[in-house]
Structure 1
């Protein structure tokens, strides 16, 4: 992404950061790792986009358009050019009409937190936009909070138990925020949105086999693992989970 050279008394990097933040909240760029460098009098940032056409003007939301208009008033324009596909990201969903979606991320995930339930490929957020003056700040905030918790529980040093609880328990603040995101996205998409409850440790395989949906207490064991991640699914409550990782088979590398 390239920012044209502005008048000398402006701060192009500041405008570019604001613009990138608006794009992120609209689901048009992923993450916050966008180093900015000077190149031939222009500020240039390299960003990860969900798809090759994600930065097209047709996907711009209200706040993105506002940033563009404000930058133009001080002589700044933005230009975008693709570099190539990312080597360490999952392939984007190519399904014409997904049956459902799942809100899913990890501390390693760079892509959109929305996944297709059919192919499990990442799905950009911006196609779900249906309300004026709205973006996806709530979904992006949830993803950032979830990844922070996942970092803590993977590091196993500070706040491991508290972070794991946020990811695992249905009445945690993190789960409540995520399920609220699912409800809004489901309304926009007209499709079911599932929420994933992480399961780290269990006491025994027998107890894991007896686990029931934490929301309705109904049965939710799947006959086979779905997408290498999910062993449990409640269609009534739109919840997904896994059998405890400490009790999985040795060759199970889904995490």
Structure 2
């Protein structure tokens, strides 16, 4: 991933409020389309211009060909706030994040965690993230629903990893149950992405707990009950189960690895 600085110059008198609204609207539009990553953006004002540093999947993430209808509209609305189109300044490659894949995968998977800022759509061949703007818009012109699902998954993951409150159990249920709201929304998004891309797309179902390694290996697919989903060798050193009918991958419980 790469770090860029965007600079917004004023071409006429404006107000902080108007500029803030226009810039934040553009940043949220970029985020909803997967063109910038993260949740919070610090916008600084100095010497008559606004600056913000952003993390992007690729060096070409802000190319106009990737822009969603929301992004295009937000760019035109900068004029109303008396701001010029943003100028880009390349800062460098982020050393703490993963590189995005440029290859079309043979299969892909919805997978994330609370420590990942990258796209939740991963190549099944390498587990490298696939920038969302490289696939057709999932709903309403962009990928806002996918980003929202990712945010909810990460929030549950952080709660269960902290293991400090009773909320841990509710969060764990959302991550591990095929009957949870989180699973239902994510599995539906998975199906939408598969329909749009024509690439087999799977949902990662997190697994923790269980009685023993032996009983884990006998665990059936939670959605269809098939016991034929245990793999001879784990995919990507992580997924021990894969149900091609239900499009689910999972792991042997982290408690027994």
Q: Aligned-pair RMSD on alpha carbons?
A: 1.5
1:36 match: 43
Provide the TM-score with structure 1 as the length reference: 0.92
Whose strand proportion is higher, 1 or 2? Answer: 2
| Residue equivalent to 2:13 | 8
Residue in 2 that maps onto 1:48: 55
What's 1:192 paired with? 200
1:88 aligned to 2:96? Answer: yes
Deviation of the 1:183 alpha carbon: 1.1
Number of residue pairs aligned between Structure 1 and Structure 2? 247
SS at match of 2:221: coil
When structure 1 is superposed on structure 2, of 36-45 and 200-209 the one drifting more is 36-45
On the 8 A contact 1:196/1:241 being kept in 2, the answer is yes
More contact order relative to length (CA 8 Å, sep ≥ 6): 2
User: Any conservation in 2 of the 1:55–1:80 contact (CA below 8 Å)?
Assistant: no
Q: How many angstroms apart in 1 are the aligned matches of 2:235 and 2:221?
A: 17
Q: Is the 8 A contact 1:221 1:231 kept in 2?
A: yes
Aligned partner of residue 106 in structure 2, secondary structure: coil
TM-score (structure 2 length as normaliser): 0.92
Pairwise CA distance, 1:80: 2.1
In structure 2, which of residues 16, 24, 30 is the aligned counterpart of residue 17 of structure 1? 24
Most deviating of 168-177 and 123-132: 123-132
Q: What is the rounded CA distance, in whole Å, between the counterparts of 1:108 and 1:102 in structure 2?
A: 17
**Per-residue Cα deviation, 1:45-99 (whole angstroms, up to 9, x for no partner):** 111111110011110010000101111233212222321111111121132x211
Render the CA deviation track for 1:88-138: whole Å, top value 9, x for unaligned.
11121132x211110111000010111000111110001212579511111
Partner of 1:106: 113
Partner Cα separation in structure 1 for residue 214 and residue 242 of structure 2: 18
Asked if the contact 1:33–1:47 (Cα under 8 Å) also holds between the matched residues in 2, the reply is no
Tell me the distance in 2 between the aligned counterparts of 1:204 and 1:104: 25
The counterpart of 1:169, out of the listed 173, 177, 185, is 177
Give ranges in structure 1 of 5+ residues lacking alignment.
Answer: 249-255
Q: 2:248 aligns with which of 239, 245, 248?
A: 239
- Aligned residue for 2:34? 27
Is the 2:31–2:37 contact (alpha carbons within 8 Å) kept by the matching residues of 1?
A: yes
Q: CA contact under 8 A between 1:6 and 1:12: conserved in structure 2?
A: no
